[in-house]
Chain A
Amino acid sequence: MHSFTYVRPQSLEEASTFLSEHREQARILAGGTDLLVQIQSSSVTPDYIVDIKHIPELNVLSFDETGGLRIGAAVPCFKIWNHHEIAHLYPGLIDAVQLIGGTQIQGRATLGGNVANASPAADTIPSLIVHGAICDVIGRQGIRSIAVQDICIGPGQNALAPDEFLLRFQIKPPSIGFGAHYLRFIPRNEMDIAVASAGASLVLNPDDQTVQYARIAIGAVAPTPLLVIAAGESLIGQPLTNESIDRAARLAAQAAQPITDIRGTISQRKHLAAVLTRRALVKAQERALQSLKGASH
């Protein structure tokens, strides 16, 4: 194990300054559930560990009707699923944060870490994508916004500049008729990494329940989590039927470019992309219908 210096900035400015000076030798520590494992196995050998958990702006967790949801990059998963209003409004996001590790890991693991780590199998990324999440990143030039689907550029590689780090995620308030779901396939029932995963979100028309808006994202089937625009668009204006869902599911499978590795095979993953998309849509529909039902009361 490579020895390193631990740094704990207390402000955004302090962190940015340090990173702009030492970025090549530094790794950012949030929950550490990926980083500590990587350090221990010597797959990364940083000279500095920059712990950003103590910066106030990275610990914001709030919702309001106009601004929507804001989640600081260092907020641990358990705080998200433990927040009753957020859990009620965004069950499709909770699907993902509750899948990461066990309870102890969820006490540490963060959305920011999961996204910045840029694993093709990251559980929160497809969910954030279908929720239309925007990520604010901060660097020497100030704050800029990136859609979550644009953050990952390859396995373990993100689109951030060397001096940048994740500040927070923003998600719009859910519309009436909104429903989302994320699920993954693992061979066991817990403690595993996705062989394939899918997220889906829908907004159903209150009048005829046709699809007004749909987004589908798939994970662990390409170098990065994928937003499959064609699959979502195929549903717009359509009623949700077995046929329309199947069509969208097959479009998702067609977009997949998986590899065979220790966790799965190409054909298994392409097939699962379809199966999981179908299941994600069915559950998203159920939630969207609940939303409509709630609004009509």
Chain B
Amino acid sequence: MTEKTPTLDTASESKYRIIGKRVDRYDAADKVTGQAVYGADVHPSNLLYGKVLRSPHAHARILSIDTSAAEALEGVHAVITGADLPSVSDRIVDLGETATSLRYQSDNILAKDKALYFGHAIAAVSATQPYIAEEAVSLIKVEYEILPPVLDVRKAMRPDSTLLHDDIFTDELGQKSTQASNVASHIRHAQGDVEAGFRQADVIIEHEFETTMVHQGYIEPHNATAIYNPSGQITIWCSTQGSFGVRSQTSDVLDVPISSVHVIPTEIGGGFGGKNSIYLEPLAVLLSKKSNNRPVKLTMTRAESLAATGPTSGSYIRVKLGADANGHLTAAKLYLAYEAGAFPGSPVGSAAGSMISEYRISNVLIDGYDVVVNKPRTEAYRAPGTSNAVFAVETVVDELCEKLGMDPIAFRLLNAAKEGDRRPDGPTHPRIGFIETLQAAQSHDHYQTPLDGKYRGRGVACGYWGNWGGRSSVSASMNADGTISLITGSIDLSGTRTTTAMQLAETLGIDLEDIVPQVADTNSVSNTEGTYGSRTTFATGWAAHKLGCKLIDAVKERAALLWDIPVDTVDYEDGCIFSKANRLTFKDISKYLDETGGPLMVSATSFEGGHGPSATTHIVDVEVDPDTGKVDILRYTAIQDVGKAIHPDFVEGQIQGGVVQGIGWALNEGYFYNDEGQLLNANFLDYRMPTFLDVPMIEAVLVEVSNPRHPYGVRGVGEVPIVPPPAAVANAIHDAIGVRLTALPMSPARVLEAVWEQTPSAYLG
């Protein structure tokens, strides 16, 4: 059977037997009963416990490290420092959604000559008990020369700023500068003539914005358990979004062959982009090697997770937009300075590519700067870099609508990009459903219902995200009873074992109960990129469809042998193999495997491209308490083009989760550093993510504009929901009390300051 030809048809519900149904998820019972095995549940025999010593300083030269007292403590097996890591070259290594120099990756895992942020790993120990490891860490004496911390992105960019690295020379639009700088790179996207565009404008709005670093906030902190065996084979259990990424990064950092690293992923308690890069894995391996090959487990505390993993960039952003009197956008000039953390690699590039791409604007100039500061190295976070950039863009769009007296959805409909329009960063849009989300928003009950009440306001904001495809591998074995064991290399963050199996079952025309999916380790399946870029249901699902097609070909061959007829006279439909004279179900062929050649196993991979971008429109109602500055979310509706929703529950869950994270980013989340660069809120009490009591039921509206380039019309869905919330909430606050907030988070203190600026007599202090 040939693969299903992708079609432009917007899939109707009745077309599919399994796709689109809200079936039970395979991992549900294990997870709700506590049976699922997470990284912390791995306990090989003879296990030792590791602990990492972390820098109390944001910026300091390491003059000496004395580990003798720690090594002498009873129960301690090994102590390692940066000197134990092999020296590595400057080549670029892939971290999944981001990339970095291998040397920076190594330096982030264990500091060498300099500590570059509060929480930077300096040394690690292994011991028989966790508390002994903790005590041992406290016995390591580090002599620091404290250097001035660089904490503000704009100050870091000044030519006279203290430098983090003496070997960063700005990549200035492709040209290396000759003077060392904290600015790692300057990128630009230019389209049309932006100054001419502003001359055509009747209304021009320009604002500056500032946003603070925020963390992904996954509930399960990073962990790794490793065994280095005497022949140099390495086994790692860990919580990761991509086991193959852990394998290649560990191999790179330790300078060992990739084939010597075996990664066994456990269930994962959240990632959101923050579990692509490695932190603990090489430390666990080196400690095991120095501990007579005993297994070593490292588990971060919440404080370590917040101080030294993640986060995403804080930023300084300028947005200038022009529109003519009819409401057409004529020009956009955007300036983005992003904190990369201690090493280059902020998501400023992906922000530039997505922050305004859902609009059709002839004249655009985007300048982006990737800037190192003495904070943790940033990692991907759900549509990396885009929420803060869109906060800026959509706030200015809202003010344009206000000045023009236009309805915010009507304005956006007028300027919405569609298939064939060119994005400011180059690519041409394939079929996207932005207009459809706007139309659905316009007619939605939420938008149609007037909002009454004092200090209440409604905000609208939109978002765009390109998504990703990438490499995926799957395999299938037929069991004696005709069921299929489905092996996938994709880590299951959000139900993708189930959505992958659903696409295979749909292709084969068999029941979902006859497929048992499993996430495999790196020795059991071929290369599969991590679960990031909203790619898994798209790309691994595509591989599953190809797998199904190969299975159909295989069972047709078996049937032809069994019936002794040419294979081209055998057909397959709806889970049945048949010829003119014969008929067998897919499952029944299992009875005849031995007489037709033995066991049946097939594999398939995908690397197709063709991923479909996501666009979304959000509506939010808020109530502001002008006396306290507190903002309550009253109602929230997210309308998203999801392509074909393979499992609508999971898609709605992704949308609701993304919106809640976006609300947290909007209102209260943010890193709080003191002047010395020490993180003061590295706990979930003072790093204020929303609780259930802080958000209403988020209504997710699925607009299914099929991706014509995927066999089942799938688009990525997981990232774009986090893009509009900060902007939507800001616009709603403006509607409620008439103030524009230009900094995230829009904490009660910030709201109050804006109220006092507007009405000085409101201050009672």
Binding site for B on A (CB under 8 A): 1, 3, 185, 187-193, 195, 249-250, 253, 256, 261-265, 267-275
A274 touches B748 (CB 8 A): no
Q: Does B163 contact A (CB under 8 A)?
A: no
B267 CB to closest chain A CB (Å) equals 25
A1 to B765, CA, bound (A): 42
CB of A268 within 8 A of CB of B629, answer yes
* Residues B752 and A187 in contact, CB atoms below 8 Å apart: no
Is the C-beta of B87 less than 8 angstroms from some C-beta in chain A? Answer: no
**With A3-B131, A265-B749, A275-B628: A188-B668 Cβ-Cβ less than 8 Å:** yes
Closest to A261 in B: B680
Pick the contact of A275: B667, B693, B764 (CB < 8 A): B764
List A contacts of B753 (CB < 8 A). Answer: 267
Among residues of A, the one whose C-beta sits closest to the C-beta of B693 is A189
Chain B nearest Cβ from A282, distance in angstroms: 12
B14 sits at the interface (CB 8 A): no
Say which one of B114-122, B605-613, B682-690, B720-728 lies at the interface with A.
B682-690
Interface residues in B351-388 (C-beta closer than 8 Å to A): none
A189 to B628, CA, bound (A): 13
8 A-B residue pairs with CB within 8 Å: A185-B630, A188-B694, A250-B764, A267-B763, A268-B748, A268-B749, A271-B765, A272-B628
Q: Which residues of A contact B667 (CB under 8 A)?
A: 187
Q: Report the minimal beta-carbon distance from A131 to chain B, rounded to whole angstroms.
A: 25
Interface residues on B, range: 20 to 34
Cβ-based interface call for B691 (8 A): yes
Contacts of A265 in B (CB 8 A): 749
CB contact between B764 and one of A3, A190, A253, A261 (< 8 Å): that residue: A253
For the complex of A and B, the 3 pairs showing the least CB-CB separation, nearest first, are A270-B765, A274-B764, A189-B693
Residue B627 is within 8 A (CB to CB) of chain A in the complex: yes
- 0/1 interface trace, chain B 687-707, chain A, CB 8 Å (1 if under): 010110110000000000000
Residues of chain A within 8 A (CB-CB) of B252 are: none
Enumerate chain A residues within 8 angstroms of B690, measured Cβ to Cβ.
188
Residue of B nearest to A189 (CB): B693
Most buried by A among B680, B681, B685, B749: B749
Tell me the B626-672 residues at the A interface (CB within 8 Å).
627-630, 632, 667-668, 672
Task: Please report the C-alpha to C-alpha distance between residue A264 and residue B627 in the assembled complex, in whole angstroms.
Answer: 15
Which A residues touch B243, using CB under 8 A? none
Residue in contact with B748 in the complex, picked from A189, A190, A195, A270, CB distance below 8 Å: A195
Contact A1 B691 (CB under 8 A): no
Which positions 490-518 of chain B face chain A at CB distance < 8 Å?
A: none
Decide if A188 touches B688 in the complex (CB within 8 Å): yes
Taking CB atoms, residues of chain B closer than 8 Å to A264 are 749
Q: Output the nearest chain A residue to B303 by Cβ-Cβ distance.
A: A41
Q: Counting CB contacts under 8 A, is B398 at the interface?
A: no
Whether B688 contacts A192 by the Cβ 8 Å rule is: yes
Residues of B within 8 A of A261 (CB): 680
Tell me whether A271 and B764 are in contact (CB under 8 A).
yes
Q: Which of B667, B690, B693, B764 has the most CB of A within 10 A?
A: B764
CA distance A269 to B685 in the complex (A): 19
**Which residue of chain A has the shortest Cβ distance to B138 in the bound complex?**
A42
A273 adjacent to B628 (CB under 8 Å): no
CB distance from B153 to the nearest CB of A (A): 21
Closest Cβ–Cβ distance, residue B80 to chain A (whole Å): 22
Nearest CB in chain A: distance from B111 CB, A: 22
In the complex, residue of chain B having the shortest beta-carbon distance to the beta carbon of A195 = B748
Q: Closest residue to A274 on the B side, CB-wise? A: B764
Given A188-B693, A265-B749, answer yes or no on A271-B131 (Cβ-Cβ < 8 Å).
Answer: no
B603 within 8 A of A: no
Residues from chain A with Cβ under 8 Å of B134 in the complex:
1
- Please indicate which of the listed interface residues B134, B628, B680, B753 has the most CB atoms of chain A within 10 Å of its own CB: B628
Contact A263 B630 (CB under 8 A): no
B748: which A residues are within 8 A, CB to CB? 185, 187, 195, 268
Given known contacts A271-B764, A275-B627, is B749 in contact with A189 (CB within 8 Å)?
no
Q: Could you say which residues of chain A place their CB within 8 Å of the CB of B694?
A: 188-190
A253 contacts B765, C-beta separation under 8 Å: yes
Min CB gap A3→B, angstroms: 7
Majority secondary structure of chain B interface residues (helix, strand, loop or mixed): loop
B residues with a Cβ closer than 8 A to A are: 131, 134, 627-630, 632, 667-668, 672, 680-681, 685-686, 688, 690-691, 693-694, 747-749, 752-753, 756, 763-765
B725 to chain A, nearest CB (A): 16
Contact A271 B693 (CB under 8 A): no
Given contacts A187-B688, A193-B685, A267-B756, 15 further A-B contacts (CB under 8 A): A1-B134, A185-B748, A187-B630, A188-B694, A189-B691, A189-B693, A190-B694, A191-B691, A253-B764, A253-B765, A265-B749, A267-B752, A268-B748, A272-B628, A273-B765
Smallest distance from the beta carbon of A178 to chain B beta carbons, Å?
26
Q: How far is the CA of A274 from the CA of B668 in the complex (A)?
A: 23
In the complex the two chains form, what is the Cα distance from A157 to B690 in whole Å?
Answer: 32
Shortest Cβ distance from B695 into A: residue: A189
Shortest B498–chain A CB gap in Å is 32
Among A1, A189, A190, chain B packs the most CB atoms within 10 A around the CB of A189
Contacts of B693 in A (CB 8 A): 188-190
Check A263–B747 contact: CB distance below 8 A: no
Report the Cα distance A275→B694, complex, angstroms.
22
A267 touches B765 (CB 8 A): yes
Alpha-carbon gap, A118 to B668, bound state (A): 27
Q: Is the CB of A188 within 8 A of B680?
A: no
Given contacts A3-B131, A253-B764, contact A187 B685 (CB under 8 A): no
Between A1, A188, A250, the greatest number of chain B beta carbons within 10 A of the residue's beta carbon is seen for A188
| Complex CA distance for A261 and B747, rounded to whole angstroms | 14
CB distance from B336 to the nearest CB of A (A): 27
Shortest distance from the beta carbon of A142 to any chain B beta carbon, whole Å = 39
What are the residues of chain B within 8 A of A189 when measuring CB–CB? 632, 691, 693-694
How far in angstroms is the closest Cβ of chain B from A191?
Answer: 6
Say how far B301's CB is from chain A's closest CB, in angstroms. 9
Q: How far is the CB of B660 from chain A (nearest CB, A)?
A: 13
Q: Which residues of A contact B765 (CB under 8 A)?
A: 253, 256, 267, 269-271, 273-274
CB distance from B130 to the nearest CB of A (A): 9
Give bound CA distance, A7 to B48, whole Å.
31
Most chain B CB atoms below 10 A, which of A265, A271, A272:
A271
A191, A263, A271: the one within 8 Å of B752 (CB): A271
A262 touches B672 (CB 8 A): yes
Q: Would you give the shortest CB distance from B743 to chain A, in whole angstroms?
A: 13
Min C-beta distance of A274 to chain B, whole Å = 4
| Best-surrounded residue of A191, A192, A249, A269 (most CB of chain B within 10 A) | A191
Q: Which residue of chain B has the shortest Cβ distance to A41 in the bound complex?
A: B303
Chain B residues near A187 (CB, 8 Å)?
Answer: 630, 667-668, 688, 747-748
Chain B residues, CB < 8 A from A249: 764
Q: Could you tell me the distance between the alpha carbons of A265 and B752 in the complex, rounded to whole angstroms?
A: 11
- Distance in angstroms from A265 CB to nearest chain B CB is 5
- Smallest CB separation, B445 vs chain A (Å): 26
Q: Could you say which of A249, A253, A264, A275 has the most chain B C-beta atoms within 10 Å of its C-beta?
A: A275
| Chain B nearest CB, measured from A123 CB (Å) | 14
Count chain B CB atoms within 10 A of each CB in A192, A250, A256, A273 and give the residue with the most. Answer: A192
**Roughly how many angstroms separate A267 CA and B668 CA in the complex, as a whole number?**
18
Assuming A273-B765, A274-B764, is B691 touching A268 (CB within 8 A)?
no
Q: For the complex, what is the distance from the CA of A190 to the CA of B695, rounded to whole Å? A: 12
Q: Which residues of B contact A269 (CB under 8 A)?
A: 765
CB-defined contacts of A267 to chain B, threshold 8 Å: 752-753, 756, 763, 765
Q: In whole Å, how far is A248's beta carbon from the nearest beta carbon of chain B?
A: 12
Indicate whether A271 sits within 8 Å of B685 (C-beta atoms), given known contacts A187-B668, A262-B672: no
Please determine whether B764 and A262 come into contact, CB atoms closer than 8 angstroms.
no
Contact (A185, B628) CB under 8 Å given A190-B691, A249-B764: yes
- Contact yes or no, B627 A191, CB < 8 A: no
CA distance A192 to B690 in the complex (A): 11
Residue numbers in A under 8 Å from B764 (CB-CB):
249-250, 253, 270-271, 274-275
Chain A residues with CB under 8 Å of B691's CB are: 188-191
Q: How far is the CA of A262 from the CA of B673 in the complex (A)?
A: 9
